[in-house]
Amino acid sequence: TADPAGGPGTMAQPRVLLTKEPAPQTVPASDLPMKVYEVALNTGTDSSSGLATAGFRTAKYLPTEWHLNNSELYHKAFAGCEQAERGRAEAKELAEYAAAAAQRAQQDSTAAVGERLQDIHFWKAELQREIQDLDAETCLLAAQKLRLERVLDATEVPYAIATDNLQCRERRQAPDLVSDEVERELLKEAELIRNIQDLLKRTLMQASNQMRLNRDHKEFCEMDWSDKVETYNIDDKCGKYSNQSTNIQFHPSSVKFEESASTPETWAKFSHDNMYRAEREKLASINLRALIDNILHDTSEDMRKQCAAVNEPFAKHCGELDDTKHKLEHHLKKILKEIGYQEANIAALKQAIKDKEAPMKVAQTRLYDRSFRPNVDLCRDEAQFRLIREVEELTESINSLKKKLLESEQTLRNLEDARMNLEKEIAVKTNSIFIDRQKCMAHRARYPVVVKLAGYQ
């Protein structure tokens, strides 16, 4: 195109107009005053109004009309040039303004897309951080859940030990089959372990539910993060478009808002709510882990304390059984010795009674023979009285010896009964000691250590 000044034409470069360029320096257009012409009438001596010229004057203009017509043409041409010159200046100004406006609009749009990229990057980074934190927290909670499972498995051994101890002690014989302190502590231990197992099972279910909630909210954040990544890539590609890009084209139908489109407030609130819920579940998971720590610490301490509370009376009771058995054995030795003495005493009494038979025969034979004395010689003399007293004395001695023999024999039977009772009681104590020490105490040596009860093994 030709420059208005007559110079060669150049392509207009897009640039931002800081100030409005001045209008072209031309004469301002204005309406010229109409020249008034007085047209003479065709009358008079020189006029052509006569009949002889009637056919020639109908198609003729007057010179003044001809000059007037030319003047009007000159005026219109001058006004057209001025209007065209003004139109060219306005067109140039409009084109330059449109180019600057388009450049400013594109720069503003690029800046807006850049700000949007920063917002998307912020939420994307926050979501990614929350996803990583929630994933790490879920792993920690899984480790705590594994500890709970280990502790639950480890409690089977103490429970089996307690129930086995109770069953073994049921095989004690009377009178040792008593409800003593050991049995009461064993019952408390079995009840404690059952309660701990129930608590661990409930806590395991709670941990499983919390891990599921953690994974669900992590998935929500991951879906939101994935959308943010895709949106970031789209806006990043849009921000790199320029007028020189080769992959741009017209999309008239894109200049509209989607009915399902969100607002910046709802967009930010959606991610904020996702993060808020994820953070809430993360805090709940942290609190649950702390609760599990306290539960495992308390349960392991309670079981070890109860184990000590059982072992102490067990050892004490075994000591009492040993002491009682030793005393019973000591008394048995005394009884056995006394039985020997008593048997010798009975033998001596029997011999003493037997020894009185000969004197009794002598005295009675003397009395019998003297009863044959004739007539007046059958006298109650001193010898007769003495023989009678001797027989009475021997009879009394024999009766006394027999009574003592009966007493001694009864004492011997009592000693034998005592011996049998002592031997039976010693057997009962031996059985009780075997059950408590060899069965129960030896079995309790397999009680898990604190590290295993705490779930670290």
The tally of domains found in the chain comes to 2
Predicted confidence (pLDDT) at residue 435 exceeds the cutoff of 80: yes
In this structure, the answer to whether residues 363 and 296 fall within a common structural domain is no
In this structure, the answer to whether residues 277 and 346 fall within a common structural domain is no
**Per-residue tokens: 415:** 């000693």
65 is a domain residue: no
The Cα-based distances of 454 to 152, 254, 306, 380 in angstroms read 10, 64, 15, 108
**pLDDT average, residue stretch 161-190:** 90
124 is a domain residue: yes
86 is a domain residue: no
Helix (H, G, I), strand (E, B) or coil at 177: coil
Q: Is the dihedral of CA 56, 62, 63, 69 positive or negative?
A: negative
Predicted confidence (pLDDT) at residue 295 exceeds the cutoff of 80: yes
What span, in angstroms and rounded, lies between the C-alpha atoms of 436 and 318? 7
**pLDDT average, residue stretch 255-259:** 75
In this structure, the answer to whether residues 404 and 351 fall within a common structural domain is yes
69 is a domain residue: no
- pTM for this predicted structure: 0.67
Question: What secondary structure does DSSP assign to 421-453, as a single string?
Answer: HHHHHHHHHHHHHIIIIIIIIHHHTTPPPHHHH
Predicted confidence (pLDDT) at residue 36 exceeds the cutoff of 80: no
In this structure, the answer to whether residues 342 and 416 fall within a common structural domain is yes
280 is a domain residue: yes
Find, among 174, 412, 200, 433, the residue nearest to 299 by Cα: 200
pLDDT digits (tens, 9 = 90+) for 133-171: 999 999 999 999 999 999 999 999 999 999 999 999 999
Predicted confidence (pLDDT) at residue 6 exceeds the cutoff of 50: no
Residue 97 pLDDT class (50, 70, 90 cuts): very high
**pLDDT average, residue stretch 186-214:** 95
Predicted confidence (pLDDT) at residue 209 exceeds the cutoff of 80: yes
| The Cα angle at residue 107 between residues 102 and 110, in degrees rounded to 5 | 125
CATH of the domain at 174: 1.20.1260.80
User: Residue 300: which domain range?
Assistant: 93-242+263-319
